[in-house]
Structure formats: structure tokens, C-alpha cells
Amino acid sequence: MKKLTIILISCTLILSGCWDMREFKEVKLGITAAYDLTDDGVYTNTILIPNVQNSAQGPGQESTQFLTATGSTASEARTNIDRRLSSTYSPAQLDVLLFGDKLARQDIYPYVDAYYRDPRMHLDVVPVVVKGNAEQALKVVPKSEIRPSEYIEGIIESEVETTNTLETSLQAIGSELYEEGEDFALPLLQVGDGGKTVSYEGLALFHGSSYTGKDIPFGHTTLFLLMKRVKGKVARITVKIFDGEKPETNNNTTINIEDYSSKIKTKPDKQNKVRADITMDVTVMIQEYPQDHLSLSKLPEVKKNLEQALTDQAKETIRIIQEANSDVFGIGRSIYGHYPDYWKKLDWEQDFKNIKIEPHIRVNIRSRGIFR
């Protein structure tokens, strides 16, 4: 009896197991995928698959393969891709997901839904919006890159380091996709140089799960991210602090943010329904100052102009955000948390545009350069 039991148990083990085997070498992994909506209302899905030549010695040479398929729904487009591949397509290792702005304006949720459901998928896929055609951006493969499949990912990563975009992923935007009180922003790319390069253009503002069409332009992103309390390894801002100096470049200065603190205080307000105060203290180092007569007597003026310029920039950014109706600071969530009764009376969809958001920026110049 004992022997029979052992045989039966080992049979259940051996006979049931291998079914689930998915061999790595028999799968085509998509690294980057792009979704577009053409003018005719047809969905196109393009994927980039890295292929490696056999490498008995050293790492193999990587080549990339592009596949484009169309379909009337997103999943049909994906099925059409699979039909053209020698082995099964798996998006499990996807790193970047590109959306054409036309499609993003509609709704991105249907395309990312599968990632939240299938446990085998990566949730740290970076969703990115492309101005124009996403497929075109995907197909830009500069020869200088060792691993062409990681070109776009590399752009985003380096921008995160210089505080121009925030580290985002499907995991990070998961709750904001449907939450009323907070929205999100995604990196915005554009194909430039006549289709030879892809450049980072700023942050695309979302409302709900669709793109509003409004962006925070590249020069304003650093200050915006600092207000949102996100800082990469370095943060530099170039602002215009003087007027009418000759030559024109002398009007500008570049500051390096060494230390900062930022606080957003929200409270109900009679006049504007909600009032939010963004208080920010930054300690900066003057990195570039073409006038080169930064004496101690001039410093207070520079400081004052700097504060003024930064506040202006912040106000401009806030104006764009409110126009886009994209609550990226999470002011609604904060109100909901602190004044739940008051929140019930608000119609955030309409009210956000009219609330008062006031930036208060104080600058402290710590260093003027090593010669000074």
C-alpha cells in the first residue's frame, strides 16, 4: 500500500508539472511597445523585439525587429502581431509603453488594463506620450547606441536624474488613473531631427485616464517637480533675472538646487472654495552668471530677482495645470483627507479650475562659485 501511495504521489508531481513550462528561449520578448490611433480610427500596435546573435564568446550582437499590426481593438492588434512571429510574443519584460497623443487624448486605460491583471507582467513599465506618431518614435534607432532597444528608456532615465521628469510607472499611476482627487503627468516625447532622434519635451498632463493636450514645457519641469517634492540627482534651473542687458545672454543665470523644502498647504476658502499655498525654500548655488561681477553688494538684488523669476515661472506652471484641469499636486486628495465633509460639497471636476494656488518661493544663495 505504501509503495502504491509513493508511486501515485510521484505520478501527480511528474505528470502535472511540465505543463506550465515556458522556456525563455522560445519566447519573443517585447521591450518597447507603441499604440497609435490612425485618422481612420484603426488601432496600430508596434513592438520592438531585441534579437541576439548566438554568442559562444562574449555578449552577442543585438539587432532589433519591429512588428506593426492593425486591428479594430487593441487586443486584436496584439493577436495580429503574434501571427507573424516564429515564437510566442510575451510583453512580460516590457519597459516602455508609448502612446500616440491622438490615442492618449481618448483613453489609455484599455491598453494598460492587462498589466494590472496578469501577474506575469511588469508593473514598472514606463508609460510615455509621444507627440504625433508613436510608432515613428519607436522606430528611431540611433547607430551609436549599443543596445538600440533601450534608447527611449535611456532618455527617460537620464531626464529623471536631472529632475526634468519624474520616475513613473504603471504601478505609480495605478491609483490616480481613476481617483478623482489626484491626476498624474507622463513624460512627453517628440521625434525630431527629421526622424533621426527622439527628444524629451516636457510633461504631459492627464486628467482621469486621458491626456488633456496641455503640457508643462521643458524649461518649467524642474521647478514643477520640486514643488511636487521630487528631485533627481541634480536639479538645475535657468531663469531670466535681468532685462535689457547686452548681450542677451547676460540676462540669464543658471542655478543649481542644493537643498530645498517644499510644502503644500490646503484649506477651504470662502472666496475661491479652496486655497492652496505652496511654500518652497531653496538653497542654490549660482552655476552660471555671465555678467561675472557677483559682488556681495549685488547679491541681494540677484536674490530678489531670482525669487521673482521663480515665482513667475511657478505661477505660469500653475496656470497651465489649472487650464488642463489636471490636479497633479493632489490638492483634491488632501482636501478629501482633511475636510471630508467639505469635499462632499465640492464638484472637483469644475471647481479645480477656479481654486487659488499661490506659490511662495524663498531663495538662499549659498555659494557663488569657488573663486569667490
Partner 1 sequence: MGFFKQKKHQPVQEKVIREDKMPPHRSTASLEKNIQYLQQELRNSTDLKIRLLPGNKQALVYLDDITDPDKIQRYIFEPLLKTEGDITKIKDREESKDLNEAVSSLLEGKALYLIEGQSTCYFFNVQQNVTRAITEPMNEKVIKGSHDGFNEDIKQNINLIRRRIQHRSLTIKKQTVGDYTESEIALIYVEGVVNPDVVKELETRVKNISNDALLSAGAFSEYIEDRTYSIFPQFLSTERPDKTVAQLMEGRIAILFANNPTCLIAPVTFFAFYQSPDDYNTRWLVATYIRLIRLFSFILAITLPSFYIAVVGFHFEVIPEDLISPVLGAIRDIAYPPIIEAVMMVVVIELIRESGIRLPSPIGSTIGIVGGLVIGDAIVTAGLVSNLMVIVIALTSLASFVVPSNEMSDSLRLLTFPLIILSSILGFIGIAFGLLMVLIHLCRMESLGLSYFTPIQFRDLKDTVIRVPQFLMKRRPEQLQSPRPYKSNELSDDDGKK
Which residues would be at the binding site for partner 1 (CB under 8 A)? 1-4, 13-14, 17-18, 20-25, 27, 29, 31, 50, 52-56, 59-60, 62, 90, 92-93, 95, 120-122, 147, 149-150
Residue number, 20 or 341, with CB nearest to partner 1: 20
Contact, 16 vs 81, CB < 8 A?
A: no
- Helices and strands (H and E) in the chain: how many: 12, 14
The letter for the amino acid at 351 is D
Residue with cell 484641469: 325
> What is the three-class DSSP state of 39?
coil
Q: Which ranges constitute the DSSP H helices of the chain?
A: 2-17, 74-82, 101-106, 109-117, 134-138, 151-161, 170-173, 221-227, 299-324, 331-338, 340-345, 348-351
In the bound complex, what is the minimum distance in angstroms from residue 59's beta carbon to partner 1? 5
* Nearest CA among 135, 331, 127 for reference residue 228: 331
Beta bridge partners of 188: 129, 202
Residue number, 147 or 263, with CB nearest to partner 1: 147
In the bound complex, what is the minimum distance in angstroms from residue 5's beta carbon to partner 1? 11
Contact, 120 vs 94, CB < 8 A?
A: no
In the bound complex, what is the minimum distance in angstroms from residue 48's beta carbon to partner 1? 13
Residue number, 51 or 367, with CB nearest to partner 1: 51
Residue number, 25 or 293, with CB nearest to partner 1: 25
In the bound complex, what is the minimum distance in angstroms from residue 62's beta carbon to partner 1? 5
In the bound complex, what is the minimum distance in angstroms from residue 142's beta carbon to partner 1? 17
In the bound complex, what is the minimum distance in angstroms from residue 16's beta carbon to partner 1? 8
CA 36 to CA 101: how far, in whole Å? Answer: 8
Residue number, 98 or 121, with CB nearest to partner 1: 121
In the bound complex, what is the minimum distance in angstroms from residue 27's beta carbon to partner 1? 7
* Nearest CA among 273, 263, 233, 232 for reference residue 329: 263
Query: In sequence order, what DSSP letters do the residues of 109-129 get, joined into one string?
Result: HHHHHHHHH-TTS-S--EEEE
Residue number, 147 or 372, with CB nearest to partner 1: 147
Residue number, 86 or 295, with CB nearest to partner 1: 86
